Amino acid sequence: MTWEVLSMIGTIAFAISGAIVAMEEEYDILGVYILGIVTAFGGGAIRNLLIGVPVSALWEQGLFFQIALLSITAVFLFPNNLLKHWQKWGNFFDAIGLSAFAIQGALYASEMNHPLSAVIVAAVLTGSGGGIVRDLLARRKPLVLKAEIYAVWAILCGLAIGLKLAVSSFELYTLFFVITGLRVLSYTYKWKLPARRLGT
């Protein structure tokens, strides 16, 4: 049940995130749907390739594709005056998607009895892979590669699940809210990782 709910939350959050980025870049309706779908399912596809799950497993998620399409349609039809607040809500949806998908990816790898390193990689790729593809297609610098703290929260998800610190549904939902909260705090207060810039 936890798996299904987190997958649904992540799918909706990232589909909306991709669709709004596409509208910001003034893509047409087809571009909006493509970017929304890629953002929602890109991370899962990359994860499946690396941990040995057939990519074709994605095509068995018919319900999630329908949910993603409905979410994108709703955003596309949303009034412009409400979409102006996207910067605030967009980051929030992205935080939800990151947290939900990082946990889902870590659970996936853990259930396949992969080592801790693979669980962490699965969490990072599932949580941020779709966002990376979205940003690259929109010709933006991927969030995860900036100094802003992003992938670190996915790594924490992988550690918590790989070390069996979060096992029950209650613990997993608590982890979801904690990681979402940390991501919101990190962009609200502009927490950053150390970065080194080369002088010209």
pLDDT bin (cut points 50, 70, 90) of residue 43 is: confident
Return the amino acid letter for 34. Answer: I
Mean pLDDT to the nearest integer, 45-70: 81
Residue 50 is predicted with a pLDDT of 78
* Start-to-end Cα distance in the chain: 53
Residue 86 is predicted with a pLDDT of 64
Helix, coil or strand: residue 192: strand
pTM of the model: 0.84
Spans of all domains in the chain? 2-188
Distance CA 200, CA 193 (A): 22
Question: Does pLDDT of 82 surpass 80?
Answer: no
Cβ contacts of residue 170 below 8 Å, gap of 6+?
none
Distance CA 158, CA 175 (A): 11
Task: Give the residue among 25, 12, 7 at the shortest CA–CA distance from 136.
Answer: 25
- When the pLDDT of each residue in the chain is averaged and rounded to a whole number, the result is 86
* 88-133 pLDDT per residue, tens: 677 888 888 899 889 989 998 999 999 999 999 999 988 888 888 8
CB atoms within 10 A of CB 2: 16
> Cα 143 to the chain's mean position, in Å?
11
Residue 199 is predicted with a pLDDT of 64
